[in-house]
Structure 1
Amino acid sequence: MDNLSDDLRALFNAPICPYCATLYDPEHYDEVDECARCSNCGRTYQVAAEHRPQQAHTPQDDPLSAAAQSDSLAQFREEADRVSKAMMHQTAGGSYEMYERWFTEALEPTIDKLDPALRSQAIAIATELGYIDDPEIMAAGFGPGLCSISGIDENYCHCGRHP
């Protein structure tokens, strides 16, 4: 009889959807929005903290120390400066747009290797040097009438591929 009482107590103390009275399912809890989504009607509602699923602790969730962030960003700034100078050398005589594209392509692997918490700061640093953060601009190309290699007007381009 005690087991039945405990089961009934657990059942009646468990959260239910206030819209359709469906029993709460911990698998439908959204940690980002901090609410549950009803499996029946799809509406969201608040759940008491004791009924929320336990979150697994992952080392990735630990924020980097301020010193580690500073060191990582300093190293990134040095790498971005090095890549920038190399791309300036490589694109000498071309357009600034060509430099931006080549610089962005060369720096993307370095940004991808960074901790996700530091990427926005790294992109801000790289943007000062000509990094293109907008994927639509990168996909657009140089445009009609411009050389696909140098980005210069085809009538004045020095690459030798134009009539």
Structure 2
Amino acid sequence: MKDGEHGIILMEALMDKLSDDLRALFNAPMCPYCATLYDPEQYDEVDECARCSNCGRTYQVAAEQRPSQPDSPQEAPLSEPAQTDALAQFREEVDRISKDMMRQTTGGSYEMYERWFTEALEPTIDKLDPALRSQAIAIATELGYIDDPEVMAAGFGPGLCSISGIDETYCHCGRHP
């Protein structure tokens, strides 16, 4: 084989690799607002959409691009009876606190329920064994627990009552004109 032929074969291999890389790049999902490539870690299973790491907007991602869903922690059999008992007791406590918060927030917004539920549940989660906390948070999230400190710190927003989370024009708390 001559050096020229070897160079041509090498160049063809490089071009094929470049073509494959470009095909992968242009077929990969990206944010339709700012063209940032999709990051599977930014996918939200609850909302079934991705959040752009650059502009923060959400967008849909094809099913084959979504990260695989791990088995739900409450469905996976736990090896130690003590852990199973602790999670069962936690589940009962979460249900009780959820029902209490539903009664207390009747007439308010769902966001108010989420915040009050999260605040009421924090001490219970803090008492759990650290090895069980991720499973406990997954259980609590199904009932409205907010696991994002930024969301909790943000408040309800302008024009919304800080108590009920309802538009101040329609709020029934009596603090607005």
Bucket of the pairwise TM-score, normalised by the shorter protein: 0.5 to 0.7
Q: Hey, what does 1:87 align to over in structure 2?
A: 101
TM-fit CA distance, 1:65: 5.6
Displaced runs of 4+ in structure 1, greater than 6 A?
none
Q: Percent identity?
A: 89
Counterpart residue identity of residue 96, structure 1: Y
Match of 2:146 among 101, 109, 132: 132
Q: Hey, what does 1:114 align to over in structure 2?
A: 128
Listed as ranges, the matches of 1:99-110 within 5 Å are 99-110=113-124
5+ residue gaps, structure 1, are 1-63
Q: Hey, what does 2:156 align to over in structure 1?
A: 142
What is the alpha-carbon distance in structure 2 between the residues aligned to residue 131 and residue 88 of structure 1? 13
**Normalization by structure 2: what TM-score?**
0.56
Pairs aligned (count): 100
Larger Rg: 1
**Normalization by structure 1: what TM-score?**
0.60
What is the alpha-carbon distance in structure 2 between the residues aligned to residue 156 and residue 86 of structure 1? 24
What is the alpha-carbon distance in structure 2 between the residues aligned to residue 66 and residue 90 of structure 1? 36
Match of 1:70 among 66, 84, 89: 84
SS in 2 for 1:78: helix
What is the alpha-carbon distance in structure 1 between the residues aligned to residue 157 and residue 148 of structure 2? 16
Counterpart residue identity of residue 141, structure 1: G
